[in-house]
Amino acid sequence: MKSNCQRNLNVALSLVVGGAMTVSIAHAAAPTEIVIEGERVFPESLTSTADGTVIIGSIGARTIYRAEHGSSRATAWILPDTDGLHNILGVLADDTSNTLWVCSSTLPQKNGPPPLPAALHAFNLRTGAPKAHYLFPTDGSLCNDISVAGDGTVYATDSTNMEVVRLQRGAKFMEVWAGNGDFGPKDGVVDGITVLGNRVLVNALAESKLYSVPIQANGNAGTVVEVKLNRPIDRPDGMRRFGKNSVLVVEGGHGGRLSLVKLNGDTGTATTLKEGYPDWPVAVTTVGTVAYVLEGQFTAFFNNSDTAELKPFRATAVTVGKP
């Protein structure tokens, strides 16, 4: 078994992820890139609303940024420490409930103090005003990515504890929904998550695997099954639904790539849509027929480098068509 330090490092290096459901936007041309204002932003996740607004969460600046539909610049929207926010990982827009769901965690540090409790925050999707926040149920947790089911249940990955937790609609507390070793070794790093029909898909970054968890009629988790793919998804991170039977996923391996995974039961076919994301791809979201891939430039962040030459932080567009 690897040391806790190595495990924590793997968790920190994963950070994903996160994104939004497919939306259909017919007006205004999508920009080829969205640049995030500010320095040392180190963005980790992005999502999009039904009207095409793109929202981006930042680990480095602990800020949530927003770009109105058609805009090529994302500006600060929800500021650091709002409602107790820490490092911001996954963000997810839920138009149905007018909620922006946000993962807030403190990153594990070698020989550092224990991290503060991770929490799932809810903000008004239109105004950015805080609505509520919910602590994760397991000690030492790291809230990484988020997805919402049709019944309003919110699912999130806990990368440190290799669990999926849920917040049922109207509930006041989160609960562990799946885990207990079902997602591989403790340092496997569960990361991206997407609800696809009556199951939850979860990827493990360090193990480069994809898992399927059935949602049973009573809402409990069914037996976790590894999805067998035609090729490995290499260090998968952010992952979002694309139609009824497919997901878009960014991969950190192979120089960074965006792939489409089509599911057929517990098997799937991964197809590369674009390669060449050298600056650490972390998340994907869609606006109409365009997908935006976010790169985090985390090498400098994890090396605590104040002298590294950073590029403008941005999300770049890829035409993916309709699901």
Chain mean position to CA 251: 12
Q: What is the pLDDT of residue 122?
A: 98
Residues 220-256, buried b or exposed e (16+ Cβ, 10 A)?
ebeebeebebeeebbbbbbbbbbeeebbbbbbbeeeb
Q: What is the pLDDT of residue 183?
A: 94
Instruction: Check: CB of residue 133 under 8 Å from CB of residue 83.
Output: yes
Chain mean position to CA 145: 4
Instruction: Check: CB of residue 237 under 8 Å from CB of residue 281.
Output: yes
pLDDT of 55 over the 70 cut? yes
Q: How many CA atoms lie within 13 Å of 152's alpha carbon, on the beta-carbon side?
A: 9
pLDDT of 150 over the 50 cut? yes
Under the banding of pLDDT at 50, 70 and 90, the label for residue 109 is: low
User: Tell me, what amino acid is at 102?
Assistant: V
Instruction: Check: CB of residue 90 under 8 Å from CB of residue 57.
Output: yes
H-run or E-run covering 148: strand 143-148
Between CA 302 and CA 12 the distance in angstroms is: 8
Number of Cβ within a 10 Å radius of residue 132: 13
pTM of the model: 0.90
Long-range contacts of 170-174 (CB under 8 A, 24+ apart): 172/134, 173/134, 173/135, 173/137, 174/120, 174/134, 174/135, 174/136, 174/137
Phi, psi of 6 (to 5 degrees): -65, -40
Alpha carbon distances (Å) from 219 to 167, 200, 226, 294, 307: 11, 12, 20, 33, 50
pLDDT of 8 over the 50 cut? no
Closest listed residue to residue 206, CA positions, set 140, 162, 143: 162
Between CA 100 and CA 133 the distance in angstroms is: 11
Q: What is the pLDDT of residue 179?
A: 95
Give pLDDT tens digits for 264-318.
999 999 999 999 999 999 999 999 999 999 999 988 888 877 777 899 999 999 9
Mean pLDDT of 243-267: 96
Closest listed residue to residue 131, CA positions, set 155, 158, 102: 102
CB contact set of 190 (below 8 Å; sequence gap of 6+): 144, 157, 158, 159, 162, 163, 164, 183, 202, 203, 204, 205
Give pLDDT tens digits for 20-42.
333 344 456 889 999 999 999 99
Query: Which fold would CATH assign to domain 4-319?
Result: Neuraminidase (2.120.10)
Give pLDDT tens digits for 265-275.
999 999 999 99
Q: What is the pLDDT of residue 5?
A: 43
Domain extent listing, the chain: 4-319
Q: How many CA atoms lie within 13 Å of 205's alpha carbon, on the beta-carbon side?
A: 34
